[in-house]
Chains A and B, each alone.
Chain A
Amino acid sequence: MDFNKDLDARGLNCPLPILRTKKTLNEMASGEVLRVIATDPGSVKDFAAFAKQTGNELLSSTEGNGEFTFFIRKK
């Protein structure tokens, strides 16, 4: 999937992946896509909840090799 910006949140634990994501989205334009890679297993539910509450769209959430990848489109 194409994306405009990349955020490496590997090794970070709750709530840092969400906080860094929010900060990065603030610097992006509406409609742009952010890719986030995290290793915190709690991030799967957290990113879904973040998207639901902020209106940013979670395009995909996948897991592989202990890493979680999220694509988020800015509202």
Chain B
Amino acid sequence: MDEKKLAIIATKGTLDWAYPPFILASTAAALGYETQIFFTFYGLQLLKKDVSDLKVSPLGNPGMPMKMPFGPKWFRDINWNIPNAVQAIVPGFESLATTLMKQTIKNNGVATIPELRSLCQEADVKFIACQMTVELFGFEHSDFIDGIEYGGAATFFEFAGETDICLFI
């Protein structure tokens, strides 16, 4: 059986969107895929040494349920319909939503981002950071975890051109 290949472009830098690239890459690696993730633009945030400041924003995101991760069941079941105008004006609303999301993640036995990221690295998923965006955003290589490569679009296509699956996230 030939080894299958998966390439992912990760472009989002929020806590919720950090999950798909790492979940898919780690699972693909477990299934025997040779896997690479190319991190560009806001996706670079996912390679920072400290990812504890990744946030999720319910603002302008009508698909996100707003439920409490504690209290009795009837309370947890309430979907808090908070208007965008209120979300935008209340200081710390994003931080509150992020805290609640992290608790929900914990309650559901879902892995943390640092955990999934190290599982990817242990499984030899190759991480490539877009050098152009690193410079554009004024980041330093020392901001990022070890074991990653830096390259551009041509580097991505060298591998992506031979893959069975290629995803833009």
Chain A residues engaging chain B, CB cutoff 8 angstroms? 11-16, 18-19, 21-23, 39-40, 50, 53-55
Contacts and interface: CB of A to CB of B under 8 A. Distances in A.
A45 to B, nearest CB: 13
Nearest to B24: A15
A16 B109 contact: yes
B145 interface: no
Counting from the closest, the 5 A-B pairs by CB-CB distance are A22-B30, A13-B109, A15-B27, A11-B109, A13-B110
Interface of B: 1, 23, 26-27, 30-32, 108-111, 119, 122-123
A19 B109 contact: no
A46 to B, nearest CB: 9
A14 B23 contact: yes
A19 B119 contact: yes
B30 A13 contact: no
A50 B26 CA distance: 13
Given A19-B30, A22-B30, A39-B109, 12 more contacts: A12-B109, A13-B108, A13-B111, A15-B23, A15-B27, A18-B27, A22-B123, A23-B122, A40-B109, A53-B31, A54-B30, A54-B31
A50 B119 CA distance: 17
A39 to B, nearest CB: 8
Contacts of B30: 15, 18-19, 21-22, 50, 54
A37 to B, nearest CB: 14
Contacts of A21: 30
A54 B4 CA distance: 11
A39 B108 CA distance: 11
20 contacts: A13-B110, A13-B111, A14-B23, A14-B110, A15-B27, A15-B111, A16-B110, A18-B27, A18-B30, A19-B26, A19-B27, A19-B30, A19-B123, A23-B122, A39-B109, A40-B109, A50-B31, A54-B30, A54-B32, A55-B1
Nearest to A53: B31
A13 B112 CA distance: 11
B115 to A, nearest CB: 8
